[in-house]
Structure 1
Amino acid sequence: MIDTQTFTLALGIGNIAFAVLMAGYTHGGAPSPGLRLWMWARLGMGISQLLGWARPHLGLALAPGLEGVAWILAVSVEVAAYCVFFGFTRWGRLLLPITALSSAVVLAAGSMGATHAELSRMVAGVVALYAATMAWILLRPRRFATRHAAGLRSASPLQLIIGVNDALFAAAVALSALDGLRGNALFGPGMAGEFAYLMGYLLMIVNGFGFLLLCKQKDDAEMERLATTDFLTGLPNRHAFLERAEQARLAAQRQRQPLALMMIDIDHFKQLNDRWGHASGDEALVVFARTARDVLREHETIGRLGGEEFAMILPGAQLDEAVQAAQRLRLAVRAATVITSGPSYTMTVSIGVVLLDPNEDLSGALARADHALYAAKRDGRDRVEIGEPGRRRA
């Protein structure tokens, strides 16, 4: 049979150790608001558990219900940490009133002479509600959208592990509270009590490491995004584009599908910078990127190779389809407006288009598209030129 007080002491020390460990881990850095709230939640949970252990052992004269309120506040801060981490913006409108009301009810019940077991059942109900809320936050599918479609993305494996653990803990605490209503001691001997203890221990371990791993996943994803995305336009940078283009080339070769490539250059970009300043040049790049995203299809990729030079890969497109897509882009860019320090500027682009030959490498196709691009600039700009056919490799 599990010793309640010893188990409570172990949980309290464990939660405080987690909070101290994470404080040391994030020292000198800039922890996310969610991680900062999570650390305070672990610390508050540990303190409330130590209070629960110390009350009978040390004979502490605590105000009736104070220990339960500490539990409620700590778990509510953990819920807030998950809300902040996953981008909920209005969590306080629901969480704060529930926390304040439940805390007030527990304190009022304690002042009116409620027994410790009765107060524990009340707190257990609130804790079960909050644990179920965390499980819902973790397990619910996330909505995503593109220009062409919207749908749901399922929770990651890590979220599933933490969310299922939260759901089991909520069920364990709720069952134990119901068992207490039938006259059994809350978290005492019995299947419900044993289950609650086991899930409480797993909650400390899984949620402790799990939240840190979630934060690390998020930071890693952000680092990858920064490493592969052009900071000004939000398009894939040169390295990322070439990598995606090579993957598209290999897929087209394997599936025996056509693949077209464009090289795009903003006309007279240096004159724009020299006449109205680099801020206007930056705005032109942003306007072009936004316009290009609006006209390209979901499976097409455009990237910034450097300066005012861009490239686009069009899987499944024959040469005539690629030329039509290039003309749509050219006309859309011409219709876009760039605001400068002077009059509004009409931006134009020159485009070179090629169709990759079977077994042609990417560098050869890029060179042909680049030659076509310079032919378009030489022949007057604001036009689309088709590159010379590629030479088949033996």
Structure 2
Amino acid sequence: MIDNQTFMLAIGVGNIVFALLMAGYMRNVDNTPALRYWMWARLLGGVGQACWWLAPVVNLPVIDILTPFAWIGGVIIEVAAYCLFFGMPHWRRLAYLAALASGLVLVGAMAAGVSRLQMQWIVSLIMAWFAACAAVLLLRERGASLLQRIIGVNDALFALAIGAWIVFEHGRLDVAITPVGGATYLLSYMMMIVNGFGFLLLCKQKDDLQMQRLATIDGLTDTLNRRAFFERAESARLLALRLRKPIALMMLDLDHFKRLNDGFGHACGDEALRVFADTARGVLRDHDLMGRLGGEEFALALPGTGLEGALHAAERLRVAVAEAPLLSCAGSYRMTVSIGLVMIDTGEELTAALARADHALYVAKTTGRNRVEVGPAMLKRA
């Protein structure tokens, strides 16, 4: 059987070791600020729990005084790590207010002369409150991942266990394991292990998604990059072939883009590309594929769209670009776009269709620009 003092030592050492492991992990990876906050939260909380065990052993009153602040400080930093991870803009203000309120409660309890066991009851109650706040942060998003929900549920169960312990056992700490106390201890361990590894995995999951985005998305325009567009357009072509559905392909080029770059600078050219991409997204359907192939050249794949629908979409896009807001860097400059449009024929390779669309784009550029040119169908072999 385990008593309260031994449990505090065990969980304190566990948190300290976990913090050291995280420190070693972060030395060799690009870590996020939230992960650093989490490491310090584990270390500070673990030191507070271990010192709670140490205080009666060495009989130093100062340790008894400082320990609750370290313990609660670790929990506040842990919640701050969640806020930072999920991008809450005012998390610092919330953390400062939480620290101030908790500090006032602890100072008031000490001034009232509460016993050591009563102080642990107060600290546990504050921890339960912050665990409930962490659970709300983790579970409030509809699109939360399974890992995020597991951590959130673990926090909620811990808060409920502390509440049950206070209600049914009145915060007794001078006993060994009871059913409610045992559940509270078990959930405390689960909170240390599940939340510790879980937050580390959440950060890794976020980094992996960011790396995946960097590998597939053009950083300037937020459209697919060249490689990702070819991969997804080829998958769309094969699916259309299996389903016997049409698929349209366009090549697009901003008119006089070199003149814009030379006259107003590359920053202005970048703004033009962003405005064009945003305008195109406002016209296209969610499942249409748009990629930047290089410079001012873009490609579009429209699955399930016949020639008439594709021509209508291309014309809407052309008009929308011509009516796009003026560039902040180029005064009265108006963007226009030339578009080459083809239908991918049955059995035609994507590269061959792109070559036909590129030829249609060339015709559009050489016959006046700011227009849509429909390319001829693929020549059939005899």
Separation (CA, whole Å) in 2 of partners of 1:95 and 1:239: 44
**Count of residue pairs brought into register by the alignment:** 382
Superposed, 1:360-379 pairs within 5 Å as 360-379=348-367
Q: Cα gap change, 1:177/1:103 in structure 2, threshold over 3 Å: closer, same or farther?
A: farther
Aligned-pair CA distance for 1:282: 2.2
Sequence identity of aligned pairs in percent?
54
Aligned-pair CA distance for 1:392: 6.4
Q: Cα gap change, 1:348/1:186 in structure 2, threshold over 3 Å: closer, same or farther?
A: farther
Superposed, 1:1-394 pairs within 5 Å as 1-27=1-27, 31-62=31-62, 66-141=66-141, 152-153=142-143, 155-181=144-170, 184-185=172-173, 188-339=176-327, 343-391=331-379
Aligned-pair CA distance for 1:214: 0.8
Separation (CA, whole Å) in 1 of partners of 2:165 and 2:45: 19
Q: What TM-score comes out, normalization by structure 2 length? A: 0.93
Q: Cα gap change, 1:6/1:179 in structure 2, threshold over 3 Å: closer, same or farther?
A: same
CA contact (8 A) 2:44 2:74 kept: yes
2:108 counterpart letter in structure 1: A
Gaps of 5+ in 2: none
Aligned-pair CA distance for 1:391: 4.8
Larger deviation, residues 316-325 vs 20-29: 20-29
1:173 counterpart letter in structure 2: I
- Give secondary structure in 1 for the equivalent of 2:222: coil
CA contact (8 A) 2:260 2:268 kept: yes
Larger deviation, residues 238-247 vs 95-104: 95-104
Aligned-pair CA distance for 1:95: 4.3
Q: CA RMSD in A?
A: 2.2
Separation (CA, whole Å) in 2 of partners of 1:276 and 1:111: 68
- Give secondary structure in 2 for the equivalent of 1:31: coil
- Give secondary structure in 2 for the equivalent of 1:113: coil
Separation (CA, whole Å) in 1 of partners of 2:24 and 2:63: 33
Aligned-pair CA distance for 1:393: 8.6
CA contact (8 A) 2:3 2:177 kept: no
Larger deviation, residues 38-47 vs 352-361: 352-361
- Give secondary structure in 2 for the equivalent of 1:385: strand
- Give secondary structure in 2 for the equivalent of 1:388: coil
CA contact (8 A) 1:228 1:239 kept: yes
Aligned-pair CA distance for 1:85: 0.4
Q: Cα gap change, 1:106/1:323 in structure 2, threshold over 3 Å: closer, same or farther?
A: same
CA contact (8 A) 2:252 2:339 kept: yes
